Structures are given as C-alpha cells and as structure tokens.
Chain A
Amino acid sequence: MIEIQGLTKRYGRHTVVDKLSFDCAAGEVLGFLGPNGAGKSTTMKMVTGFVVPSAGSVRVCDHDIQTETLAAQKRMGYLPEGAPLYAEMTPRQFLEFIADVRGLSGSRRRQRLDEVIELLHLGPVLRQTIETLSKGFKRRVGLAQAILHDPDVLILDEPTDGLDPNQKHEVRQLIRSMSAQKLIIISTHILEEVEAVCSRAIIIADGRLLVDDTPEALAAREGGDLDKVFRQITQGATSTEQEAVA
C-alpha cells in the first residue's frame, strides 16, 4: 500500500532522512520509532506530500506522491505533529470544512460526521472554539479530521502525545479497531505504545533504518525489555557515528 524507495531529505549539508526504503500493506499497524530528531516526522511529511524529498520516491496506493499528489492524498488521512488546527473555528465548523474538501456530501457526509463525533466523544465541545479546548480534545479533533473520510492509509504523528492515560488508552483502542482493513503508521517514542498497538516496528536514528521487526521479536532480544533494546540500538548507532567522525 505504501512503497518507499531510497527516500532522502537533506537540509543544506545536513541529512535528516537517509535512503530509507520499506514497504507496508493493509492490515499492518506500523510503529515508527526513534529518538527525537531521528527523522520520523520529516519522513511522514514526505509521505503525505508536505515536504518534497531530495531523492527517492514514495508510492501510496500505487500513486506517486510527487506526480499524482492529489490521488495519493485522497487515500490518506494525516495527523501532523502537534495536531495543528484552525484555532478560531469550532470543531463542528472545522470538521465540516474537512468534509467539504474530502468531497463528502449528502447522507454519507452527515453519517460520517456523526460517526467520528461519536467515536471521539466530541459531542460536548462541538460549539466551542478550538482554542478554548483542552489538549486532549484538540488531539481528538485532529484524529477526527484524519479519519473522517475513512481513508485506506492513516498516518498519525505522535497521536497520543500529551494525552492522559485514559485518553491514551482510548486512542489505542481506536487504532486497533480500525487496523483490520487499513494501513496505519504511527510515530512515537513511547515504547509501550508499540507493544500495545503495533504489528510491526521500524526503528530509525539519524535518518537511517536500523531495525524492521515485530515488537515481540524485538523485545525478545533483551529478554522482553523493549526499553533496553531501543537504547542499545539507537545509542549504538550514535556511538558508531561518532567513531566514524573521529
């Protein structure tokens, strides 16, 4: 469903994403892991067509994001990092705007709006402006926006960041409930999240793919301690890098 080939992003002389290649298919929940600044968000921005890659290609549902941008974007739902929203709008106005852009109309539009509002418990805040909402509600409005058109591919950049434990639990349940027919990619640095929802984990550091495995197999490397595995892999990468420079 998504094919990534040699994806690279350079800012000046600094390489943020370095020849990343992997494929993923429907039914997968792909956990995108890495320390801060590893290139997770930049990769997601390139996959969704916001940032233009320096090299390499991304195909989403057989549409190249560079040449068939709109066709690819139609199949995706995207929650950008920090869940940016139009603060002066109410969730209702905002979701109606998204419905317009996503081409939903008539009864399907009403039905989908009702469904996502119900699913993410947005009912009580529909007529409040977004800027007055708590962080948890804002994040849920961002998620509602991403799933409104029931996309085949869902890309969520740190979907549970800043949520309380109950809200985290709910978002993870939501992700699991949608995972059967969709491809879901989530980025996170919370390892328990990977164990809770992901069927596959990719670890990147300094823009390079280090590990591509199931969370279970990954944890088994250090006797079930995913934390330890993560530290070893990512810090190992940084120290070899430093040796290389030295």
Chain B
Amino acid sequence: MSMIKAVFRRELQSYFATPVAYVFIVIFLMLMGAFTFYLGAFFERGQADLRAFFNFHPWLYLFLVPAIAMRLWAEERKSGTIELLMTLPITPWQAVLGKFMAAWAFAGIALALTFPIWLTVNYLGDPDNGVILAAYIGSLLMVGAFLAIGAFLSAFTRNQVIAFVVTVVVCFSFLLSGFPLVLDAFSGWAPQLLVDGIASLSFLTHFENISKGVIDLRDLIYFALVIGTFLYANTIVLGWKQAD
C-alpha cells in the first residue's frame, strides 16, 4: 500500500510540476462551459437539470482523457525512467495502480472544478441533486475506464502521439458500440446474442443509465470490470516488454 502511495504521489506531483495540469484544467473547463451553454442550449431548454452538461462528457473525454493517459508509460519509456522504476522494489501491480490512480485523481480534480455549473442550476431552479450526483459518479467511472484503456495502450510504445491516437480510436469504438453506426453492421446477420453483447459494451449506454439517476449494480460492475481488465493487461504488457 505504501508503495502505491509513493508512486501515486510522485505521479500526481508530476502533473502539477509542468504546465500540463493547468493547461488541461483550463481547456477542460472552457470546453465544458462552451458545450453546455451553446451546443447543449442549457438556458433555452428551460429545465432545472444538468443533462445539457453531462451529455457532452463522453465526447469531451474522448479527446481529453487520452491526452492525460498517453504519458503514463510512453514517457517513462522515452526518458528511460522505466528502468529506474522497475528496478526499485515495486511490483508491476503497484506501479500500474499508483499511476492509474494518480491520473484518475487528476481527472477527478478537473471534474470537481466544474462545480459552478451545479451552483448555477441550483440558483436558477430546483434540480434533483441525487440525479446530478449519480451523473457525476457515472462520469468519473467513465473517465476511469478511458484512463485504464489509455494507460494500457501507452505501455506499448515510447511515442506519446501513437499512444494518444490509438487510445482515441479504441475509446471511440467503445463509446459507439451501442450506436446504430456499429450495431447496424451486425444486426442484419449476427445472432441477437452477439449484437446485444456488443451493445452492452457501450460506455454511452452505461453512462446514460447512471446519469439518469439510476445507479444499477450492473453498470457499476461493468465499469469496474473494464478498469480492472485493462489494468491487468497493462501489467502483462510491462512483463512482455521486459522479456523481449
């Protein structure tokens, strides 16, 4: 546990030691605001809820979260510090978890800083704050899933641009697997079971369930499984790279 904490602290410190953290948070908040008020027509809807806000989260995360995740392992490879890290008495699991949790905490801080929108909607009307809290939890879980995928893919390469682009593509297919765009390609010929299986992998479906205020155990387990699977795969990739 203390090892995970040490890695976590170092990693989080690194985000804030460079302008990366500040640039990211400012851009994140600006885009969130712009999407909510312009594209989401927050005022014109005349509803005291934050659907206009949360609806854009998956799409914003699609580009912003891979930008946090891409450096996790690729940068360590590029600078050679991975050799330092892996020869310290730390297990791969401890390193993977510490790094992932630092990235998640950082994204969580950025998400928490959107609180003015929550204040705004409470000032303007009388929203269901339970639903809003559920949507925040769903949003954070989705970030975790994106980050776990990004961390895993980042472990393959020393090039952050490659890590970024591949992560965007993989996350995009995870997002859209519940959409007609992907499902129609299967529904004509594939057995219904497979179509349902692919649809059930969609981040969007699970996120929308939660953000409606329904915290279903299945949705929570889904995100936990995605995160767990990709982190486990991350440790395996680290092992391969040491052996090849």
Contact = CB atoms under 8 A, between A and B. Distances in A.
Contact of A89 (B3, B13, B239): B13
By size class, the interface of chain B is 20 to 34
Contacts, number: 72
Contact of B88 (A11, A88, A93, A98): A98
| Secondary structure call for the A interface | loop
A80 interface: yes
Contacts of A102: 88-89
Contact of A86 (B10, B86, B87): B10
Contact of A100 (B9, B14, B18, B242): B9
Given A89-B10, A89-B14, A129-B17, A73 B81 contact: no
B2 A80 contact: no
A101 B18 contact: no
Contacts of B23: none
Nearest to A11: B244
A86 B79 CA distance: 8
A145 B243 CA distance: 25
Interface in A36-86: 45, 48-52, 70, 73-74, 76, 78, 80-82, 84-86
B47 interface: no
Nearest to A97: B10
A84 to B, nearest CB: 3
A73 B13 contact: no
A86 B14 contact: yes
Interface residues of A, number: 30
B197 interface: no
Interface in B1-59: 2-3, 5-7, 9-10, 13-14, 17-18
Which 6 residue pairs spanning A and B have beta carbons closest together? Answer: A84-B80, A100-B6, A52-B243, A88-B17, A48-B87, A73-B89
Contact of A84 (B14, B84, B244): B84
Interface string A24-42: 0000000000000000000
B83 interface: yes
A165 interface: no
